[in-house]
């Protein structure tokens, strides 16, 4: 009786033949591209400071509410 080999064929066990790994790499690449896009977008369109005198949850809304430092 010939011996059975439980090993799969050599080509089917390669990492690049696993679709789950390609899906994971695609998700990683998309998230990195999204992070870079958000950083570029935030550098292009800066927030305008609000000139208000009230506080939200005890935190000043703008940085202009404190006195300027003495030199």
Average pLDDT over residues 43-70: 70
Query: Closest by alpha carbon to 49, among 61, 41, 57?
Result: 61
Between the CA of residue 5 and those of 1, 9, 10, 13, 70, what are the distances in Å? Answer: 13, 10, 12, 15, 82
1 pLDDT above the threshold of 70:
no
Q: Could you tell me the pLDDT band of residue 63, with boundaries at 50, 70 and 90? A: low
Average pLDDT over residues 42-50: 82
Q: Could you tell me the pLDDT band of residue 67, with boundaries at 50, 70 and 90? A: low
Q: Give pTM, 2 decimals.
A: 0.52
57 pLDDT above the threshold of 70:
yes
Alpha-carbon distance 19 to 27, whole Å? 12
Residue with the two structure tokens 């033949």: 17
């Amino acid at each position: 009786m010939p011996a059975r080999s439980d090993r799969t064929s050599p080509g089917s066990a390669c990492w690049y033949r696993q679709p789950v790994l390609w899906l994971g790499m695609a998700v990683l690449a998309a998230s990195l591209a999204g992070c870079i896009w958000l950083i570029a977008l935030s550098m292009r369109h800066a927030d305008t400071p609000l000139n208000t005198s009230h506080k939200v949850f005890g935190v000043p809304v703008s940085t202009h509410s404190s006195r300027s430092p003495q030199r």
